[in-house]
Amino acid sequence: MSAGPRPTPTRRQGSPARPGWRPTTATVDLDAVRHNVRTLAQPGAAVMAVVKADGYGHGDVQVARAALEAGATWLGVALVEEGVRLRDAGIGAPILVLSEFPPGAEREALAAGLTPSLYTDAALARLVAAAGDLRVRPGVHVKVDTGMHRVGLAPERAAAFVAAVVAAGLGVEALWTHFAKSDELDDPFTDVQLERFRGAVADVARAGVRPRLLHAANTAAAMARPAAHLDLVRLGIGIYGIAPTPALRGRFDLRPAMTWTSQVAMVKRVAAGEGISYGLRYRLERESTVATVPAGYADGYARVLSNRSQVLIRGRRHPVAGTVSMDQLMVDCGDDPVEPGDEVALLGSQGDERIEAAELAALAGTIPYEVVCGVSKRVPRVYVGE
């Protein structure tokens, strides 16, 4: 091969800032986020917008700004890195990191003004050391494990732990917990967790500490359990316009914030009896128009949807034909007219038809959270309502 000069790229690959040549994009409607925040806000309770995992795939900074504009006063993230990203973008609102700061992250997290969750003696010791070095006095959110057994401290340890936090010179801004089954609306376990939480709060009060905030509710509890609203609700999936469980669909007027579209790249007539895609697992019963769409499992369109899901083209549903490949999938359009350049809705609506994350989730054996979080970084996000 000759080592001649490489052509200079004149256009960038797709990126969140600028879509590339490939017409596969996720459009995020920030007005929908604002609407959902206002719709889900509960009387007497502040709103924490949970924007971890890049805003459930929607874009953390953009969603955080929209949620704050709509009245949220707190942000919630899973990682210190996620909180620092929000700060780097100029966001000054309080940010709770929903698990303890990992060892070594304390100084940077405190310097960024992130609010710590706390539930172990080891993390308390590290936090006290970092706070001393930086001469700051963070107000911590002590997490009580009332039954999910993910992170948190046992309710019966809450009073002693809070006393230790105070004795170490830190403030206790909040006590909080997280529900394991709030999406199962009639399940009494949420009441059990709330009871255990109230017991821990009472113990802490008897020890002389009354934190400013108590919080427990995620979206499902915000929608269905008024007793769990307390001082603040932590809203994740709902602000993206998705009901946490099918039973809560329609209970609030939520607007899906993400639509995921592509365009038909190629169209061909294929004879009856031919198979489509890897493994030839879709057989045409009759001659059909098969459209190729440049979106695949590397974009987050799960391979398990092969031969199961549908997409929208020209306002009509058509089945995904055969195996979803890494970058492309095929659609059986029968005898319907379809041309290269036609819009394909993977998630979203055309005319009267709509494909929601819940539909893909049910077909894939998962929850809608995973569908939107799974739309990969390769898919440029385009924002409306910014």
Chain residues binding ligand PLP by CB under 6 A are: 50, 98, 178, 218-220, 234-238, 244
CB of 114 to ligand PLP, least distance (A): 15
Nearer Cβ to ligand PLP (243/331): 243
Which residues are part of the catalytic machinery? Answer: 52, 278
CB of 99 to ligand PLP, least distance (A): 8
Q: Which helix (H) or strand (E) holds 142?
A: strand 139-143
CB of 159 to ligand PLP, least distance (A): 22
β-bridge partners, 383:
28
CB of 357 to ligand PLP, least distance (A): 12
Question: CB–CB of 349/263 below 8 Å?
Answer: no
Instruction: Report the distance separating Cα 39 and Cα 307, nearest Å.
Output: 37
Amino acid (one-letter) located at 271: A
* Two tokens, residue 308: 């199961």
- Residues constituting the chain: 386
Kindly tell me the burial class for residue 107, based on how many C-beta atoms sit within 10 Å of its own C-beta (0-12, 13-18, 19 or more): middle
In the bound complex, which residue of the shown chain has the CB atom lying closest to ligand PLP? Answer: 236
Nearer Cβ to ligand PLP (65/178): 178
Nearer Cβ to ligand PLP (114/295): 114
Instruction: Report the distance separating Cα 211 and Cα 230, nearest Å.
Output: 12
Nearer Cβ to ligand PLP (116/244): 244
The dihedral over CA atoms of 253, 255, 256, 260, expressed in degrees to the nearest 10, equals 150
